[in-house]
Chain A
Amino acid sequence: MSAEFLAALRSRFPQAVDRASADHPAVNVPLAEVGAVLKFLRDEQAFDLLMDVTAIDWAEGANPRFTVVYHLLSTTRAGSYIRVAAPCGGMDEAPVAPSVTGLWPGANWHERECYDMFGIRFEGHPDLRRILMWDGYPYHPLRKEFPLAGIETALPGADVAEETGTQVVAAPMAGGPFVASSGEMNLSEAEPRAKDESWSDRVAQPGQTPLRQVKE
């Protein structure tokens, strides 16, 4: 079953090459072909649902740095998926990809999310704004160089920020997610909770008498 549409796809688009995949059929296509390939799959191979548009950041220095990934599902040919991936064009700092909002209006929000999280500009998108972060947020948080704890930035509302002089403060890492690979770092560094004793009644909190006196 899966071989049929893959063969049809390859005969129409000889540039499409197989992509390693543990589950569904997957192809790599050049960026310029993305629109045509997806249109072909939708109109002639009955992949009528665009399930997902996303991107992968292969970290600074990789070439190509970003890959956009599309997942299509066919509602008529039960449970048939295909994954289409394309390397992003443009420089590291300003990657570009073609928009497929013309084929599926539902791609609108997916592409906005990709732009928000990775900074990939989708050419031909009708309204490419941030979607999860606020307008004017200066970073793209899912890029690999963005730290997990976040970066201090100005408050979203400029008028409020001016009045109050406050900032958006990055989340403290204490008690946050940690990963320790053996040999990479020591465990008490990776797990900040080990050193944080603010919860303990052994340590007097500011403005509060200790609940229990401990004889040292």
Chain B
Amino acid sequence: MAAEHTFPDSAARLAAGAAAVPEEFQPEKMSLSMGPSHPSTHGVLRLQLEIDGETVTKADPVIGYLHRGDEKIAENMTYNQFVPYTDRLDYLAPLANNMAYAIAVERLAGVKVPPRCEAIRVITAEMARISSHLMGLGAFGLDVGAWTVLLYSLEEREKLYKLFEELTGARFTTSYTRIGGVTRDIPEGWLGRVGAFCDQFLPILEETLRLLTRNKIFMDRTVGVGVISKADALAYGLTGPNLRGSGVGLDLRKDKPYSGYENYEFDVPVGTTGDCYDRYLVRGEEMRQSVRIIRQVIARFPEGPWYATDARRIFAPPKDKVLTSMEELIQNFMIVTEGPQIPAGEVYFEAENPKGVLGFYIVSKGGGVPYRLKIRSPSFCNLSIVPKVCTGCLISDVVAVLGSLDFVMGECDR
């Protein structure tokens, strides 16, 4: 009698193989379209799920809803004109994207920017990392049912955006770098305000993390969920906190330093099991490390020029010179109309962005326009592991996995 009424639960049935179940109990698999407009898919990702009860048997991400053809557009405009398009890749950390793109083109041109410019870029990139992780953390908490974290993190992010606005003139779409430098030097007293932000931020960060780190509900939803092994993480090309959460300590700021990162001391947090909880912990620690880097940059902020003064065919001269001197006027005109003159060749540069490794592969035939520009976006690669991780999960775990992968569709679809 007992055997007749025992219904194996769906997870066990999946493990045993559906064929072992008598035909009258064979469930019908249901197809569920999650997204492209769904609060947990963080933008316009659509997951085509095949579910058996609550268990996901197949997950197929459908991307491209935000495809704007950035790579095609790049082939038709000058190098500096493309900077605003990089804002819109990972729109939660535009300053980091600006920097990655500028360094890629500078490597191709052989331009070396002065230490002050490098320091400005490092400090803005780390602030962008904090703001991006704050949003990732808040949204992740929201996905698994913790409202409060978002309120705390958005307030801190707002303070950062005030600083960004003061520096660049915009909160979101900063377009701050130019090939060979940045648009303007830092305003007076700005470093002091960044330092003050760091001082008040650390205690609030601890308080925010304390809401989650030992939270029973949060741990139940994330510990042991969405485990990505080291081998899988490497095989699928995961990068950033997702790769480090799985125990691979790859951080390009350490392993292939750029923009003077070798001058600063910081640790690279690494996870052990590779579950959603580890990825959360890694992001939390990275914010503390970013504050550490920012403080070091402020402590020894270099004096001197903030753009490559010797790159006369690449970086436009200061405006007061343009308006008063013929030579500089012509130089400015040539750079604006024909673009910075970049020699022929090809370059591949990757920067450690908040979401992972952002790469630019640029092929130039010379002149002011790239022949081919490929954007290697971290969210695109990080999402490609979703079919593997989500198969066998419960639907509610899919939400946790997506939240922990922390992707941005603007960058994934380009």
A106, CB-defined interface residue at 8 Å: yes
B8 to chain A, nearest CB (A): 31
B59, CB-defined interface residue at 8 Å: no
Chain A, 11-35, CB within 8 A of any chain B CB:
20-24, 26
CA–CA, A141 to B73, complex, Å? 11
B81-A106 in contact (CB<8A):
no
Chain B, 215-252, CB within 8 A of any chain A CB:
234-239, 248, 250, 252
| Contacts A71-B348, A146-B72; A108 near B337 (Cβ below 8 A) | no
Find the A residue at minimum CB distance from B343.
A22
A119 to chain B, nearest CB (A): 14
CA–CA, A74 to B296, complex, Å? 29
Report the count of interface residues on A (CB-CB < 8 A). 45
Against A, the Cβ 8 Å flags (1 = close, 0 = not) of B337-367 are 1110000011111100000010101010001
Which of B78, B250, B252, B337 is close to A182, meaning CB atoms less than 8 Å apart?
Answer: B337
Which of B28-36, B205-213, B368-376, B390-398 makes up part of the contact surface?
A: B368-376
Q: CB-CB < 8 A to A108: which residues of B?
A: 384
Q: CB-CB < 8 A to B73: which residues of A?
A: 148, 177
Against B, the Cβ 8 Å flags (1 = close, 0 = not) of A188-208 are 000000000000000000000
Chain A, 101-133, CB within 8 A of any chain B CB:
104-106, 108-109, 113, 117, 130-133
B174 to chain A, nearest CB (A): 20
Q: CB-CB < 8 A to B110: which residues of A?
A: 22
Q: CB-CB < 8 A to B235: which residues of A?
A: 104-106
A81-B337 in contact (CB<8A):
no
B381 to chain A, nearest CB (A): 6
B38, CB-defined interface residue at 8 Å: no
- B interface secondary structure, majority: mixed
B313, CB-defined interface residue at 8 Å: no
Q: CB-CB < 8 A to B369: which residues of A?
A: 179
A154, CB-defined interface residue at 8 Å: no
A187 to chain B, nearest CB (A): 8
Report the count of interface residues on B (CB-CB < 8 A). 54
A78, CB-defined interface residue at 8 Å: yes
A56-B345 in contact (CB<8A):
no
| Contacts A49-B234, A49-B237; A81 near B64 (Cβ below 8 A) | no
Q: CB-CB < 8 A to A75: which residues of B?
A: 234, 248, 250, 255
Which of B64, B250, B376, B383 is close to A134, meaning CB atoms less than 8 Å apart?
Answer: B64
Which of B255, B349, B357 is close to A23, meaning CB atoms less than 8 Å apart?
Answer: B349
B338-A182 in contact (CB<8A):
yes
B116, CB-defined interface residue at 8 Å: no
B78 to chain A, nearest CB (A): 6
A148-B361 in contact (CB<8A):
no
A-B residue pair count with CB separations less than 8 angstroms: 120
A78-B256 in contact (CB<8A):
yes
Which of A51, A130, A181 is close to B338, meaning CB atoms less than 8 Å apart?
Answer: A181
| Contacts A106-B384, A177-B77; A71 near B359 (Cβ below 8 A) | yes
B162, CB-defined interface residue at 8 Å: no
B236-A52 in contact (CB<8A):
no
A69, CB-defined interface residue at 8 Å: yes
B107 to chain A, nearest CB (A): 6
Against A, the Cβ 8 Å flags (1 = close, 0 = not) of B55-80 are 00000000110010101110011100
Q: CB-CB < 8 A to B107: which residues of A?
A: 22-23
B345-A177 in contact (CB<8A):
no
B256-A79 in contact (CB<8A):
yes
CA–CA, A23 to B63, complex, Å? 32
Task: Spell out B's residues near A (CB within 8 Å).
Answer: 63-64, 67, 69, 71-73, 76-78, 81, 107-108, 110, 234-239, 248, 250, 252, 254-256, 337-339, 345-350, 357, 359, 361, 363, 367-369, 371-372, 374, 376, 380-381, 383-385, 388, 413-414
Given contact pairs A22-B108, A48-B234, A69-B361, enumerate 12 new A-B contacts (beta carbons under 8 Å). Answer: A22-B347, A51-B350, A51-B359, A56-B372, A57-B372, A78-B254, A117-B71, A132-B414, A141-B69, A148-B72, A181-B367, A182-B338
Q: Which 4 residue pairs across A and B have the least CB separation, nearest first?
A: A79-B256, A106-B237, A132-B64, A106-B236
Residue contacts A-B, CB under 8 angstroms, 16 given = A22-B108, A51-B350, A51-B357, A52-B348, A52-B374, A69-B361, A75-B234, A75-B248, A75-B255, A78-B256, A109-B383, A117-B71, A132-B414, A141-B72, A179-B339, A180-B337
